[in-house]
Structure 1
Amino acid sequence: MKSYLKKISYFLAMFCIIVSYVSCNKPANITVYSYPAPLPSGMTPTSGYPLTNVTITGKSFGTYPNAVTVYFGGIKADTIRSCTDNQIVVQVPANAASGKVTLKVWTHTVDSIGHFTVIPPPTITGTSANAASPGDTFIITGTNFGTSTSAIQVTFKGATAPVSATVTAVTNTQITVTVPADFSSGPVTVSINGYPLTGPSIAYLVDVPAPVYQLDFENNLSQTLGIAPATYIQGSASPITYIAGISGKAAYLAGYLSTASGDNNQAISLPQNVAQYNELSVSCWVLYDGSGPNSDYGTPIFSFGHTRGNNITLDASTGYPDLNQQISATVVFENVPGFSGYNSYQLKTTKSIVGTAWHHIVMTLSKSSLTENIYLDGAVIATQTLPAAYDLTAYVQDRNYLGVGCVSSTGEPGMKGGIDKFQIYNSVLTANQVYTLYYKK
């Protein structure tokens, strides 16, 4: 009996083990999905620029963009804009080639749903100017513009938003527009049939007030504007000569080394108090040789004042202790109201004009803002704050010279080079006005 019970227990145990084993090794319940083949029925447009959006219509596309691949002339599109079951929007790749359009959704491939022709994209190669005023005629040159004015939009940068220009004429290589009002300095943009192009930056030209004094050096020292002509103090220096300038003729100075204290030989002398304005701008074109004797000792382009202690000077080179050929300016007050003793305020730059090219230089001085600026070729290169007591009416300007310091010491240099279109303004020119002077020459 016991043996019989043991056999029953053994068979029950084995049965449980077998049942457990079978249960643990039951095949997984895997669902296999079968996606229908896509059925494209159309494509639009069938031609366009790279980056154009193309819409493919049909059905059975699904709604998962990552499952969609489109090829244009064998080139895979990088961007699927959207995907619904009956529409796919895809962007033509930048390097697409004309040819058949192939669609793949999951594992199903439609070898050709149509032919797409890639139109060579337009390009901008240049503009008629890099600065303009409202109302100017402005020409954009390039390639593949077409000939339809309605397909082209041109905008200039505005203060808060782009401003549209009026397109007046179009050829395949040239777009002519009228510069809009209220534009500001910045890039010009063009859209051709929706294809965006960014052109060069265009500077805004503005009205500039008339100077109160101007010398054009057309083989003489007569003033174009102002109270009296300039005169030339030759002394023991070389005579003044005239050369080709930035516009017409220019004065040329041979360079001079002062031989005595107070020496003012080689001086183009201007009328008394010609620059005695507390809101002041001085503009001129300079051709600086830089090879004159002691030329790195501070070579004046102009110097207006009364003594070595009371003057304003713009130098083509920085004097002691730097002794380099870099532009600098100095404002000096000595024992006049608001100043005790000798007070010098030097503004240094890192820019040099040594060479054979003409350069436009402007210095502005303002009592109202206590600011001094130096501009070179239309751009500000240095700024400093002036002292609170700054006042150019604190002394008489009776030694106002071009090419040499108002009062020289022995061994100090006079400028070797040319000066053209010298102008004095009784106001502080803005950055846009300075650029306009530079641009218009």
Structure 2
Amino acid sequence: MNKIFNPKPSTWATILERPTQTVDDIEATVSQIFSEVQKNGDQAIKKYTSFFDNVNLDNLVVSQAEIDAASLEVSAELKNAIAVAKANITKFHEAQQTPKVELETTEGVRCWQEKRAIQKVGLYIPGGTAPLFSTILMLAVPAKIAGCNEIILCTPPSKEGNVNPAILYTAQLCGITKIYKVGGIQAIAGMTFGTETIAKVYKIFGPGNQFVTVAKQLATKYGVAIDMPAGPSELLVVADESANADFVASDLLSQAEHGTDSQVVLVTTSENFLTEVENAIATQLAALPRKEIATKAIENSKLIYVENDEIALDLINEYGPEHFIICVNDENFYTNGIQNAGSVFVGNYTPESAGDYASGTNHTLPTNGYAKAYSGVNLASFQKSVTFQKISKQGIQNIGNAIELMAEAEGLQAHKNAVTLRLEELKK
């Protein structure tokens, strides 16, 4: 890892750069695939599935027989673990339900707001080197609680044309029956335009690599909403001498093993602790099955020493991490001061892995600094807020003149007339 000591604020932007390709490097490829899927539907989907996933599929749909068979391949122990996670995720997201907001803003003017579920949503579940069946829980559970009418799922097939059994089991457990063997850019394009097989959706959810991230952003140009631009995983840990170096190293490696383009960062106020973590990473890395992936991610990562907590907090808010772990004596300083983070993990016994799986919070989070403006997925992500108003005769008389004056000042005479006609009618 790159060690950096007391960096000046003028260098932070460079130091904190993510190891990602620019959109320009990717967009041409994404645009080409989108264009073909829009024009040729399933034919284009199958073409690029063959190209990227090395498998030729006659049927893109996962059959009920495949779903039933998958359930038999998942161990009872894993099923129980998934049930624990699902229960906690359900509790946390059910608690996010809000009542109707209703009030009279002026006598005779009643306004209210109600939530409506997004009717059609598409879930993208990565299935390559790490089949993220946990992401199904994070997306399908709140979608069901919100009341989404149609929930479809796309995930890449293996070279044998199969889908990981845990993905199929978890999808069925969450009530998803429309599952497609489609990954990458072509999956996002399929959900954006719809094909002979894949349903068009109103909003797309789910993480992915840089190509999937750019594809989701391109989808918004065709009237499809997305959860957020969620790209390669990242983690920042702030720690002082009170932290456990082995714990911190394990947390950093837990994200480094996601992919070669992941990034992990340690910010510490102790030079000795920085060295301890560096040594612990080397020891733990050697024993990881995904050592090769984690090693490349570590090359993109930083160990940063700063003199005090105030500097550390400023630097962290500038970075805006997807995951932020706090392992310091003064936890409140950071929990109160953090402005830009997707999800925060507080204390030596709160590993980021807990949020990834079973604590109950959602793990679909903004990356690449988008935490400065985006929230992670939550119940509201699957809902729209619709406002209503009903104005009585007395109400239009109370606010009518204000409307007329404002409309006239903006040069919108028809707006004014819509009120004036009503007020004149009431004078008769």
TM-score when normalising by structure 2: 0.20
Point out the structure with the larger strand share: 1
| Bigger relative contact order, structure 1 or 2 (CA pairs below 8 A, ≥6 apart) | 2
Give the number of the structure whose alpha-carbon radius of gyration is greater. Answer: 1
